[in-house]
Amino acid sequence: MPSQAESVNQTQVTTPALTIRPAAESDLETLGALLTALSDLSRYHRFQAPIPTPPRPALLRHLLHPTGAAWLATRADHPLAHAMWAWATPTSVPGASSPEKIAELAVVVADGEQGKGLGVRMLTVAAADAVEAGATHFLLVVGASNERSLGMVRRRWPGAVGERDGSLLSFVVPARPAAGPRSEVRPRELCRTTGR
C-alpha cells in the first residue's frame, strides 16, 4: 500500500509553465483565439470600441507588430495575455509636446486568468522595453468605467490627471517609478493600454 506521500505524488498534476515571449507573425491564430474568447466587457475595456469576431487580420497584425513591441503569454500554447507598446505622436497625446518620447501601453488578459498578477507582469515587460527604447513618458488610455485599470494607474502615479475624451481618460505619465504605495515598483512595472 503506498504511503500518504507517495499517494499524493501519484495524483499530482503538473501545471504547464507560463511563458511570456515576444509576439511573432506566426501568432496570428493564437492572438485571434485570445481576443475571440474575451468577454464583451474585457474586449470593450481593451479596445474601447467594438471589434469583429473573429478579429480582422489587419488588427491582429497591428497588435503583433506595433511601432514598439508586443508580447504574448501562453501556457502549453494556450493564449493567456497580450501586451504591447507603441510610439504615440505628440500631436495625438493631450498635453504632450516634443521632444517627449511617449510610449502608449496596452494589455489584455484572458478572463479566466485575470486578477492573478499576469496583467502587471505583462506591463512590467512592455514598460521596461519602452524605457529601454528611450520612452520618457507613458500614455495610458483607459475607459472611465475600467476601475481595475484606473486603480493601477492611480496607485502608481497618484497625481496623474486623466484628460477626458468622451468615455476615455488619457494619462500621460513619467516613465519612472511613482511615489506612494507603489514606490517599490520599478518603472517597467507599470500599467498601460494600447493597440486600438
Ligand X SMILES: CC(C)(COP(=O)(O)OP(=O)(O)OC[C@H]1O[C@@H](n2cnc3c(N)ncnc32)[C@H](O)[C@@H]1OP(=O)(O)O)[C@@H](O)C(=O)NCCC(=O)NCCS
Smallest distance from ligand X to CB 8, Å: 29
Question: Amino acid identity, residue 16?
Answer: P
Q: Is 75 in the site for ligand X (CB under 6 A)?
A: no
d(CA 46, CA 111): 12
- The secondary structure of 61-81 as a DSSP string is HHHHS-SSEEEEEEETTEEEE
Q: How many residues are given for the chain?
A: 196
Nearest to 155 by CA among 182, 184, 189: 182
Among 16, 95, 117, 180, the residue binding ligand X under the rule CB under 6 A is 117
Q: Looking only at residues 125 through 164 of this chain, which bind ligand X when binding is defined by CB under 6 A?
A: 142, 146, 148-149, 151-152, 155
Query: What residue has cell string 507573425?
Result: 25
Per-residue cell: 48: 474601447
| Inter-residue contact 83 to 188 (CB < 8 Å) | no
- CB contact at 8 A, 171 and 153: yes
Q: Given candidates 106, 125, 126, 139, which one binds ligand X under the rule CB under 6 A?
A: 106
Instruction: Give the residue at shortest CB distance from ligand X.
Output: 119
**Smallest distance from ligand X to CB 25, Å:** 23
Shortest Å, Cβ 90 to ligand X:
21
For 5, phi and psi rounded to 5 degrees?
Answer: -65, -45
108 counts as binding ligand X under rule CB under 6 A: yes
Q: Which stretch binds ligand X (CB under 6 A): 9-17, 24-32, 55-63, 100-108?
A: 100-108
Q: Which of 20, 28, 33, 42 binds ligand X (CB under 6 A)?
A: 42
Q: How far is the CB of 81 from ligand X (least distance, A)?
A: 7
Stretch that binds ligand X, among 86-94, 112-120, 158-166, 170-178 (CB under 6 A): 112-120
What separation in angstroms does the CA of 155 have from each of 106, 185, 186? Answer: 17, 11, 13
Q: Which is nearer to ligand X, 42 or 67 (CB)?
A: 42
Residues forming contacts to ligand X in the complex (CB under 6 A) are: 42, 45-46, 106-109, 114-120, 142, 146, 148-149, 151-152, 155, 193
